[in-house]
Amino acid sequence: MQGVAPSFARSETYIEVTTKGRCTLALLDTGCERSVCPLRFCRNAKLLPVQTELFAANGTRIPVMGATCVYFQVEGVAMQADVFVSEAVDEFILDYDFLCNNNCEWLFAQGRIVINGMSVRLRARAPKPSVRRIYVREPVCIPSDASANVPVRLPFVNMHTPQSNWLTESKQIRPGLLALELFSLTMMNLPRLGL
């Protein structure tokens, strides 16, 4: 395309947080209306039932398991966020309300954010190859010497995961059984795995 150049600048939109003794990155997302947390971050928390739907930036529905309050530290300072919990999201996302409720000031040029008067260095998520988790959505029986589309669930790496097809290399499961993995979004936005 003429006039379009790839950007190699890494956006610094993450802060380092510690939860349950584990250090991880949390995405600060001013366009996100709800803070979202992967289930693995709060597996033992009591989840309150919710009657709501979340959608990724590309319009794909994100299933919500419930809501809870997540406690964490930023540079040793205790903080909390009310979050929706989903198995379909792979990173901790702090929303616009979290930023407002904590008097945040984003200093873009300095690569910092001020949270309740505390200056915190922003981080970029390191660009690296990643492996997406793939879960079968329902039991499927595939006859021998046949191929089938198997409905799967792919957790979002972030709320801006592009809507596209995903292809991985074929792999021999055992002698005589080969899997070719092509993930596509059908008309109903349901990912499928071709075997």
Beta-sheet strands, E only, within 101-188:
105-107, 112-115, 118-121, 135-136, 149-153, 166-167, 171-174, 177-179, 182-185
Asked whether the beta carbons of 48 and 39 are under 8 A apart, the reply is no
- pTM value surpassing 0.75: no
Q: In this predicted structure, what is the pLDDT of residue 184? A: 52
DSSP state of 144: T
Is 191's pLDDT higher than 70?
Answer: no
Distance of CA 58 to the CA centre of its chain: 13
Which pLDDT band holds residue 4 (cuts at 50, 70, 90)?
A: very low
| Average pLDDT over every residue of 19-43 | 92
Higher pLDDT, 105 or 61: 105
* Cα–Cα nearest to 136, from 190, 84, 95: 190
Q: Which two tokens stand for residue 14?
A: 């993450």
| CA–CA gap between residue 140 and residue 96 (Å, rounded) | 41
Which is more confidently placed, 28 or 166?
28
Contacts of 123 (CB under 8 A, 6+ apart): 12, 14, 15, 16, 25
Q: What is the pLDDT of residues 114-170, one digit of tens each?
A: 999 999 999 998 765 555 566 677 777 777 777 677 777 666 555 555 555 555 556
Q: What is the structure's pLDDT at 2?
A: 40
Rounded percentage of the chain residues whose pLDDT exceeds 90: 44
- Report, as an integer, the average pLDDT of 187-195: 46
Q: Provide the pLDDT for residue 74.
A: 98
Q: Please list, residue by residue across 146-175, b when 16 or more beta carbons sit within 10 angstroms of its beta carbon and e when fewer do.
A: eeeebebebbbebbebeeeeeeeeeeeeee
Burial classification of residue 195, based on how many CB atoms lie within 10 Å of its CB (0-12 exposed, 13-18 middle, 19 or more buried): middle
Domains of the chain: 14-121 (2.40.70.10), 135-194 (no CATH)
For the stretch 80-129, pLDDT in tens is 999 999 988 889 999 999 999 999 999 999 999 999 999 999 999 876 55
Task: Return the H-helix or E-strand segment holding 191.
Answer: strand 191-194
Report whether pLDDT(5) > 50.
no
